[in-house]
């Protein structure tokens, strides 16, 4: 399979070329030149198998459809991470919460967030390719809180690889930050910037296009790649779990094969939703892809009204910080698939130059054919967290709560008529203080603590939730609070300088 750029390209690239160098021409993104298709026979092949009804077996089959130019032995090594690094034999357990509502838990990997689903196998492939070629790579990662830890974990102490992770200094949870600033791998550097995620992502995209920066790397015998979902090496692994969730519903007799379902996805940079869109396009019976946002509801406005408007918008800090994003990169890939290269370039140029674009009514209808959207306030998220904890003893974080709120609201409005898989993108342990606050909102002791201006730490919040509910934090979270911290905080205009200092440190 070959890949092309969303804003035009002189030549088609292979998967291995795209994973190593994800910067497409003219500031675009790489996409497959053709999406493979599946039918009922394909789904039955993985539903009927009894000897190896595993996530890895399904992943192997889907990757084979894309005909990527990666050696089968390397693919097997990459897929082995689902056995080695994940703590549930299903990899993605699908939990029933209500008659028509199921939760696909994407956080059973080593950093307890959905980014592990793609980044653990992705890291194996990229580092192996670098070693095979005898080339050195700098991997850049901009993070709102989850991409960073997953990137650092997958590349720690890998040969031929250096990693720089950029995160908003005050824009992540304490656990997310600890997962980054406690890394002791010699090949990794973590930079906290005074700014937000959009600043970090803008800096990353600028560096990918910066010829002076690339020349400096070249002088030091280093090539440049990225671990964000601008890299299609991430996206291809985010297609798989949508197939898995569907087949689990069939296996559990919740639906018949080829019945349609809806999926609900807490969305920030839109990579998770893009995986669902490609799965649907391949032939998986998904009716609506429902985008759940927080108060930074730019995606809600895009899907509801056909407008992407950043004018007069400023980022709002919420209790679901991984979704505190205004510039969702992967929307561009959907625009390209729907409207083609020229229109995509026109729309994205307008967004970059004017902070705004608007679809025609006909274009908007094409978006609404596949997507619905909703958003939740922090207060609504807290209500959902408390309700499901107290009624069903199911503990979720605020990102997951945005999806459950969307389900309840759209179900009541009659816009959902299918069984629904809502994706849980992070374990509650990564955002324990906000979960604690939701669970104790009416507690008199909490009111007293607030009057005394006491803030509960992540560690204490975890202990409280463990004590009062039937859950336990994994050891990988507990040990974070005992590790040494190595934190570097900089202004966003210092990013390039600090990265160059890092690669030249020897």
Q: Of 35, 93, 427, nearest to 232 (Cα)?
A: 35
Give pLDDT, residue 465: 96
> Within 13 A of 501's CA, how many CA atoms are on the CB side?
9
Q: Rounded mean pLDDT of 42-69?
A: 89
Asked if the model's pLDDT at residue 115 lies above 90, the reply is: yes
Give pLDDT, residue 504: 87
pLDDT tens for 244-255 read: 999 999 999 999
Q: Which helix (H) or strand (E) holds 140?
A: strand 136-142
Contact partners, residue 46, CB within 8 Å, separation at least 6? 53, 57, 58, 61, 243, 247
Q: Of 314, 309, 310, 267, nearest to 289 (Cα)?
A: 267
287 neighbors 261 (Cβ within 8 angstroms): yes
pLDDT tens for 167-205 read: 999 888 999 999 999 999 999 999 999 988 888 888 888
Residue 425 CB neighbours (<10 A) = 29
Q: Of 229, 61, 225, nearest to 129 (Cα)?
A: 225
Q: Of 481, 480, 463, 479, nearest to 471 (Cα)?
A: 463
Q: Rounded mean pLDDT of 470-496?
A: 94
Give pLDDT, residue 46: 86
350 neighbors 357 (Cβ within 8 angstroms): yes
pLDDT tens for 7-39 read: 987 789 999 999 999 989 998 999 999 999 999
Question: Three-class SS of residue 440?
Answer: coil
Asked if the model's pLDDT at residue 500 lies above 60, the reply is: yes
Asked if the model's pLDDT at residue 445 lies above 70, the reply is: no
Give pLDDT, residue 145: 86
* Secondary structure letter of residue 113 according to DSSP: B
Residue 250 CB neighbours (<10 A) = 18
Angle at 310 between CA 371 and CA 296, to 5 degrees: 60
Structure tokens at 100: 């028509």
Structure tokens at 455: 């803030």
Distance CA 425, CA 178 (A): 19
Give pLDDT, residue 426: 97
Distance CA 104, CA 266 (A): 12
pLDDT tens for 312-324 read: 999 999 999 989 9
Structure tokens at 180: 């980054």
Distance CA 418, CA 258 (A): 12
Distance CA 466, CA 475 (A): 13
Give pLDDT, residue 451: 46
Confidence of residue 450 (pLDDT cuts 50, 70, 90): low
- Phi/psi for 209 (5° steps) reads -100, -5
Q: At what angle do helices 398-412 and 432-439 cross, to 10 degrees?
A: 50
Contact partners, residue 17, CB within 8 Å, separation at least 6? 3
Q: Rounded mean pLDDT of 162-167?
A: 95
Sign of the alpha-carbon torsion through 351, 352, 353, 355: positive
Give pLDDT, residue 101: 98
Give pLDDT, residue 71: 97
Confidence of residue 40 (pLDDT cuts 50, 70, 90): very high
Q: How far is CA 353 from its chain centroid?
A: 26
CA-only gyration radius of the chain, Å: 22
Give pLDDT, residue 391: 92
179 neighbors 483 (Cβ within 8 angstroms): no
In order of 19, 35, 95, 402, the CA distances from 245 in angstroms are 26, 20, 10, 19
143 neighbors 166 (Cβ within 8 angstroms): yes
Give pLDDT, residue 405: 98
Contact partners, residue 430, CB within 8 Å, separation at least 6? 112, 113, 145, 146, 173, 175, 176, 397, 477
Give pLDDT, residue 203: 87
Domains of the chain: 96-112+234-424 (3.40.50.1100), 428-482 (no CATH)
Distance CA 299, CA 282 (A): 23
Q: How far is CA 501 from its chain centroid?
A: 29
66 neighbors 32 (Cβ within 8 angstroms): yes
30 neighbors 233 (Cβ within 8 angstroms): no
Q: Rounded mean pLDDT of 349-374?
A: 97
- Phi/psi for 478 (5° steps) reads -60, -40
Confidence of residue 58 (pLDDT cuts 50, 70, 90): very high
Structure tokens at 220: 């030091």
Return mean pLDDT, the chain: 94
Q: How far is CA 483 from its chain centroid?
A: 26
Structure tokens at 74: 């390397």
Give the global pTM.
0.94
Distance CA 87, CA 108 (A): 6
Percent of the chain's residues with pLDDT above 90: 83
pLDDT tens for 287-298 read: 999 999 999 999
């Amino acid at each position: 399979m070959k890949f092309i750029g969303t804003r035009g390209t002189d030549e088609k690239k292979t998967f291995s070329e795209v994973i190593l160098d994800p910067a497409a021409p003219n500031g675009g993104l790489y996409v497959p030149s053709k999406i493979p298709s599946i039918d009922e026979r394909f789904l039955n092949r993985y539903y009927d198998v009894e000897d190896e009804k595993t996530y890895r077996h399904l992943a192997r089959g889907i990757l084979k459809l894309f005909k990527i130019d990666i050696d089968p032995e390397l693919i097997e090594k990459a897929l082995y991470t689902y056995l080695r690094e994940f703590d549930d034999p299903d990899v993605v357990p699908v939990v029933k919460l209500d008659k028509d509502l199921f939760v696909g838990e994407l956080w059973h990997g080593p950093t307890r967030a959905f980014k592990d689903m793609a980044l653990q196998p992705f890291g194996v492939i990229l580092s192996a390719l670098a070693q095979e070629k005898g080339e050195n790579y700098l991997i850049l990662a901009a993070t709102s809180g989850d991409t960073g830890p997953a990137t650092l974990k997958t590349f720690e102490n890998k040969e031929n690889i250096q990693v720089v992770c950029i995160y908003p200094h005050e824009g992540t949870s304490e656990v997310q930050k600890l997962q980054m600033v406690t890394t002791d791998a010699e090949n990794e550097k973590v930079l906290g910037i005074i700014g937000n995620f959009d600043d970090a992502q803008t800096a990353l995209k600028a560096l990918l296009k910066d010829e002076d920066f690339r020349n400096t790397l070249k002088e030091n015998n280093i090539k440049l790649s990225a671990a964000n979902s601008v890299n299609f090496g991430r996206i291809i692994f985010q297609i798989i779990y949508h197939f898995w969730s569907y087949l689990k519903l069939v296996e559990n007799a919740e639906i018949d094969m080829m019945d349609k379902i809806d999926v609900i996805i807490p969305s920030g940079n839109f990579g998770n939703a893009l995986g669902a869109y490609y799965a649907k396009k391949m032939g998986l019976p998904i009716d609506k892809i429902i985008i759940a946002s927080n108060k930074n509801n730019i995606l809600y406005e895009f899907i509801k009204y056909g407008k992407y408007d950043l004018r007069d918008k400023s980022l709002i800090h919420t209790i679901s910080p991984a979704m505190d994003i205004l510039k969702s990169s992967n929307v561009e890939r959907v625009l390209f698939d729907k409207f083609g290269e020229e229109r995509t370039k026109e729309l994205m140029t307008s967004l970059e130059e004017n902070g705004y674009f608007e679809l025609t009514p006909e274009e908007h209808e094409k978006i609404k054919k596949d997507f619905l959207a909703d958003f939740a306030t922090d207060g609504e998220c807290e209500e959902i967290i408390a309700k499901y904890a107290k009624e069903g003893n199911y503990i979720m974080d605020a990102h997951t709560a945005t999806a459950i709120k969307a389900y309840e609201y759209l179900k009541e409005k009659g816009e959902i008529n299918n069984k629904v898989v809502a994706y849980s993108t992070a374990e509650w342990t990564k955002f324990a203080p906000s979960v604690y606050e939701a669970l104790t909102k009416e507690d008199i002791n909490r009111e007293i603590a607030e009057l005394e201006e006491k803030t509960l730490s992540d560690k204490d919040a975890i202990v409280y939730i463990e004590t009062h509910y039937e859950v336990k934090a994994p050891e990988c979270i507990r040990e974070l609070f005992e590790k040494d911290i190595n934190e570097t905080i900089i202004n966003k205009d210092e990013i390039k300088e600090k990265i160059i200092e890092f690669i030249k440190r020897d």
